[in-house]
Structures are given as C-alpha cells and as structure tokens.
Amino acid sequence: MCGLYTGGLTTGAISVLVDLFLTTVPVLDAAETNTTTVNKRHVPTILEIFVPCYTVLAAAILFLLLILFVSTRNVNSGNRRKSRVNAERWEMAVVTDVGLSIINHATRIAFDDVPVTNKKVARGFIGDFDKEVLYKLRSLHIQPGEIIRICLPAISTMVVGPLLMLGYYEIIEFFWSTDDYPVLPNINQCVACFLTPAGLVYAISFGFAFQQAINKQCDILEKMTTEISYLDQAATLTSKLKLRSPAVKVEMYRALKAEALYMILQVQKGDMTKYRHRPKEDIKVEIWHIIDHLQVLTSTPHHYVDVLMSQKIMEYVTALNSVCSDQLGILHSKIHWLKWAFLVTLGFFSLFGVLMIQAYSYRMELMMSMLTLFSIVMLCYIVADLDSPFTGFFRIDVRIISDVIYRLEMLSNMAFLGCTETACYPDSSKFRYKR
C-alpha cells in the first residue's frame, strides 16, 4: 500500500510538473520574442543611404552644367550677332537744353568735313586689345575652373557625408555591443549635451564665414561703384573743357579708357600674357597723362570754371589711383583651405550628433541626418559662392564698365564733330556686342 501510494504520488507530482512546464514555456517564449523585437537594431540599406544623397548631388552637377552651357551659348551667339556701329552711319543720344535728341543726319555731314587723319584716330578708339578685354569681361562668369573651385567644398561634403552615415552602426556596435547591451540605452540626453555646444560652434563659425564673404562683396561693390563714378564724372567734365584742339580731348578720353581697361584687368587677375594682342600704351600709368593735357587750356587768362573743372578732374585721377591700390588686397582674396577644413569638420561633428539621436524609427533618424547633411552642403556652397564676387551665382556684375568705355568712344566722336553737349550713356544694343 505504501509503495502504491508513493508511486501514485510520484506520478501525480510528475503530471503536475508537466502541466506547470507546459503553461510556463509559452510565457518565456513570448518574453524572449518581445525582447528580440525591442532589441532589434534596424539598419538601412546602402541604397537608402546613398541614393538620396548622390541623386541630389547628380542633379546639382547637372544643373550647373546646364547653366554653364546656356551661358556659353549666349556669349558665343552674342559675339556672332555683334552690332558695332560703322563710321559712315552712327547715332548717339545727347542731352540738350530742349531735351533728349538724336544726332544723325547733321552729324554725319559734319563728320565728312573732319580731316582724314582725325577720322582714323576717331574710328580706332577701341583697338584689338580693348575688344579682347571686353570679350573676356562678358565671359568672366562662366569659367569652368572657377565654378569647380566654388563647388568643391560642397561636393566634397556631399561625397563624404553618406560614408559617415554608413559607419554609424559600426560606431554604435563599438560603444554598445549587442553582447554587453542587449537593450540599446537611451542616450538622447547625452547627445543633447554634446549637440548643443557642437551645433553652437558650428553655427557661429559658419556665421562668421558668411559675414566675412558678404562684407567682402559689399566692399568690392562700393569700390567698383566709386571708381566707375569717378571715371564717368571725369569724362563729363572733360567734354566741357575748352582745350587747344579736339585731339587733346580724345587723348584724355583714351587715358580714361585705359584706366577702365586696367580696372577690368584687375578683375581678371591682370595677366596680360593671356591675351593675343597688346595695348599700345601702358594702361597702368596712362591716366596720369591727363595732367599734362590740363596744364594748357585754350582761353587766356583761364576761365575760373575751366580751372575748377581741371582741379576736379585731377582730384578724380588721384582718387582713382587710391581706389585701385585698395582693391588689390581684396579683389581676389579667398578663404584658406584650412579654414574650409575647419568649417566642414565642425559640420560633420554636428552631423555625428544628429546621427546619435534615437527617434525610435530608423527612417526618421535617416531623414534627420540627410537634412542636416544637406544644410551643411548648402552653407558650404553659399559661402564659397559669396567668396567669389565676380564668377559665382551671387556675383557683382561689372559689365557696366563696358558701357563706360563705349560712352568714352561716343564722347571721342563728338569731340571731333565739335559737339559740347553732355552725352548720356548710349544704347547698349548699338554700341557694343549684344550680351
């Protein structure tokens, strides 16, 4: 009886244990399943990382190439459709007491009475070297080398950024391995402590670089505007002076034209070896020859108005020299490559902080990282573009200098015809190549 009781008890105990096991195992499986679901680290594919970034990069490069192609085509087509005015029939706008009038038939008759030698001088006011300089001025903003230099920081950042995003999960595994940390800890507060000073330094550094570039553009624009204004005023006062002969006025106009060409050469980095033709005079010092012509005026004794105008012209000549000297330091100064490396590195520090943020959705985390990368790329491009005031997208348009030169040509022709009116700027479509 005891043995049977013991055997029955053992059998009952075993059955109870089996029931407990069967009811406990599913619970353990569910716990393990939940743990696996929570601890699973989603990893975006290579396509999800590289395709959006490199698609934007390819679209930006294609857009820049399209702009370069269209600009080059416009310049070349404008050169084929040049509409320079010939010596037999030309028109110019002048401001008279009555108002705006056009000198056409009467001036053509008067031009026939001018000596042949003076006609040749008047027609040769703009030489081959001048035309070549003006052509390069029109195509200054479409230099492929300058465009590549402007886009280099942004393109480098866009290329390296996805590689940093691709290595994020190896970094996570290095700091919080799956064996030591089955559950990835919430580090958002730690990331916030890191991202706040890193983002602040990143924003301040790019802010200073942006301010430096925009101030440089403003300074250059002010200096260029001042110099063009001095040239224009000197030409207007010259047209009112009473000199020995019209040839003296023409020589003064040539000196002002040489100064305008010298300003263009400074914008183009002033290397004359790149030009096929050579100027007939030293354009760097030709402006000072105006003083020689101002020493002798026609009237004796000199009229006080002529004396005042000659003094003003000399002041403009001196001011032009000082403005040109100031421009040499800022026209072509660029941000050093070490500063670019510093700015891009700070941007990557901020990108690393955004990568560490846990949004409980890897797609959301990937989107935030990409937007941060795009913002760094855009900042790099904007600063580099502003740092190139003559070749970037946000550039200073210095083609107005060509209008000044053609106005000097018109004033030269008017001097030979004996016109003393104050000439305004001519119609650009008639007095220069079409843009």
Judge if 167 and 231 occupy the same domain.
yes
293 and 371 in a common domain: yes
**Cα–Cα dist 346/202, whole Å:** 5
Query: Does residue 136 sit in the same domain as residue 267?
Result: yes
Check whether residue 368 and residue 403 sit in a common domain. yes
Rounded Cα gap, residues 146 and 161, in angstroms: 24
Any residues with CB less than 8 A from the CB of 160 and at least 6 apart, and which? 348
In our burial notation (b when 16+ CB lie closer than 10 A, e otherwise), range 90-99 reads: bbbbbeeeee
Residue 120's closest CA among 90, 91, 87? 87
Task: Please state, as a whole number, how many other Cβ atoms lie within 10 Å of the Cβ of residue 318.
Answer: 14
| The pLDDT value given to residue 341 | 93
Question: Tell me, what's the pLDDT at 348?
Answer: 93
**Pairing label, strands 422-423, 100-103:** unpaired
Let me know whether 114 and 243 are in one domain. Answer: yes
Do 302 and 332 fall within a single domain?
A: yes
269 and 314 in a single domain? The answer is yes
Mention every residue, 6+ apart, whose C-beta is less than 8 A from residue 191.
Answer: 353, 356, 357
Please check whether residues 19 and 75 belong to one and the same domain.
no
Q: Closest Cα to residue 50, out of 366, 368, 358, 372?
A: 366
Across the strands, what pairs with 423? Answer: 94
Residues 4 and 18 in one domain: yes
> How many separate domains does the chain show?
2
**Spans in the chain with pLDDT lower than 50:** 1-10, 13, 16-18, 20-39, 80-120, 428-435
Among 430, 435, 396, 401, smallest CA distance to 413 is for: 430
Model pLDDT, residue 397: 81
In terms of domains, do 26 and 81 share one? no
Residue 97 confidence (pLDDT): 36
Residue 339 structure tokens: 């500063």
pLDDT at 20: 41
Instruction: Give the Cα separation of 242 and 303 in Å (integer).
Output: 9
Structural domain harbouring 4: 1-40
Q: Could you give the CA distance from residue 392 to residue 23 in angstroms, rounded to a whole number?
A: 74
Which burial class, exposed, middle or buried, applies to 244 when counting CB atoms under 10 A from its CB (0-12, 13-18, 19+)? exposed
Together in a domain, 144 and 250: yes
Q: Give the Cα separation of 252 and 244 in Å (integer).
A: 12
Check residue 324 and give its pLDDT.
Answer: 58
- If phi > 0 it is left, if psi is from -120 to 50 it is alpha, else beta; for residue 419 that is beta
11/81 same-domain check: no
The pLDDT assigned to 18 comes to 41
